[in-house]
């Protein structure tokens, strides 16, 4: 049966940390709040946006948290429309995706991004046709809930023991574990390798090329 590789997006396929941090700072500024620590913002990447905001400011009223979510969306949209988003593909990632596809793997994405954000990102990098399905925070609970992976398995008609989840955060590893899917971490993203191992990663890839060698061995 055809294997399935499910990729996280930001921190795994692309490096969007500067755009994320910039948009979050503008959202907080719009509400008269001090800018959040950038390291804490980066650590929340992978969660859905509402969950990330709750993680950053758990003591603020829910109404203020919702306002920050809306302000972040507006700031991010404005940057995208102005052509100011920085979301480069990690070096070697396109070659990895092409190699997996050539070897007969199905590919999927499971991300805390929105549908619109993910579609724009994939189109920018000419990757829209690489994936059999796209799972986003618009249609699923936030990671580490396994709903995204469960939907990916269903849509690819692939059993859990023939799939891998590839991501850069403990949320990805926990999601994989809860869905019964193999968890593989990458060390070029937002969480440290030891955190990924503690969350269930069977392997931490140092580069996309090494990841390809591990999967295709």
Euclidean distance between CA atoms 172 and 140, whole angstroms: 14
Full set of structural domains in the chain with CATH:
4-15+87-215 (3.40.50.1000), 17-81 (1.10.150)
- How confident is the model at residue 159, as a pLDDT? 97
pLDDT tens string 44-75: 999 999 999 999 999 999 999 999 999 999 99
The model's pLDDT over 106-117, given as tens digits with 9 standing for 90+, comes to 999 999 999 999
Mean of pLDDT over the chain? 96
Angstrom distances, CA of residue 67 to CA of 30, 41, 139, 143: 9, 17, 21, 22
pLDDT over threshold 90, residue 10: yes
Residue with tokens 């989840």: 165
pTM here?
Answer: 0.93
pLDDT higher than threshold 80 for residue 1 = no
Asked if omega into 141 is within 30° of 0 (cis), the reply is no
**8 part of the active site:** yes
Question: Choosing from 10, 15, 22, 108, which is the catalytic residue?
Answer: 10
Mean pLDDT of 183-190: 97
CA distance 24 to 47: 14
- The C-alpha atoms of residue 108 and residue 85 are separated, in whole angstroms, by 23
Run of H or E including 193: helix 193-198
The SS3 assignment for 93 reads helix
* CA max distance for the chain: 54
| Catalytic-residue membership of 22 | no
SS3 of 51, please? helix
Catalytic residue among 8, 22, 168, 172: 8
**Which residues is 14 bridged to in the sheet?**
10, 89
191: three-class secondary structure by DSSP: coil
Q: Give the per-residue pLDDT at 206.
A: 98
The encoded tokens of residue 122 equal: 């994939």
């Amino acid at each position: 049966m055809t294997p399935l590789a499910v990729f996280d997006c930001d921190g795994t396929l692309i490096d969007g940390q500067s755009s994320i941090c910039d948009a979050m700072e503008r959202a907080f500024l719009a509400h008269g709040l001090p800018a959040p620590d950038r390291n804490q913002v980066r650590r929340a990447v992978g969660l859905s946006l509402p969950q990330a905001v709750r993680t950053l400011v758990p003591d603020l009223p829910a109404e203020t948290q919702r306002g920050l979510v809306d302000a972040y969306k507006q700031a991010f949209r404005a940057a995208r429309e102005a052509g100011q988003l920085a979301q480069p593909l990690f070096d070697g990632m396109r070659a990895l995706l092409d190699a997996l596809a050539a070897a007969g793997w199905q590919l999927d994405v499971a991300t805390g991004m929105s549908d619109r954000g993910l579609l724009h990102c994939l189109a920018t990098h000419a990757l829209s046709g690489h994936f059999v399905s796209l799972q986003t925070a618009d249609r699923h609970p936030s990671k580490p809930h396994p709903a995204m992976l469960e939907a990916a398995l269903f849509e690819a008609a692939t059993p859990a023991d023939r799939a891998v989840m590839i991501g850069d955060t403990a949320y990805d590893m926990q999601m994989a574990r809860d869905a019964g899917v193999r968890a593989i971490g990458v060390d070029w993203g937002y969480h440290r390798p030891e955190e990924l191992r503690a969350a269930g990663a069977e392997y931490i890839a140092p580069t996309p090329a090494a990841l390809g060698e591990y999967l295709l061995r």
